[in-house]
Amino acid sequence: SNYQRLEWIGDAVLCLAAREWCYKYFPSFTVKNLVTIETILICNETLARVALSSGLHRHILHCDSTLPGRLESYTFEIEDECQGIWATDPPKVLADVVEALIGVAHIDGGLAQGQRAAKNAISSMIGAVKDHFANSDQKE
Stretch 14-19: mean pLDDT, rounded?
96
Rounded CA separation 101/113 (Å): 11
In this structure, are residues 125 and 118 in contact, taking their beta carbons and an 8 Å threshold?
no
Spell 122-140 as b/e; 16+ CB within 10 A means b. beebbeebeeebeeeeeee
Rounded CA separation 17/135 (Å): 23
pLDDT one-digit tens code per residue, 65-115:
877 777 777 777 777 665 555 666 777 888 899 999 999 999 999 999 999
Other C-beta atoms lying within 10 Å of the C-beta of residue 15: 15
Is the predicted pLDDT of residue 137 greater than 70, yes or no?
A: no
Is the predicted pLDDT of residue 59 greater than 80, yes or no?
A: no
pLDDT one-digit tens code per residue, 115-130:
999 999 999 889 888 8
Query: What are the residue ranges of helices labelled H in 26-137?
Result: 31-42, 44-54, 67-79, 92-109, 111-121, 123-133
pLDDT value of residue 74: 77
85 to 21, 44, 77: CA distances (angstroms): 22, 10, 8
pLDDT value of residue 136: 66
pLDDT value of residue 24: 95
Does this model's pTM top 0.85? My answer is no
Give me the chain's average pLDDT, please: 85
Is the predicted pLDDT of residue 135 greater than 70, yes or no?
A: no
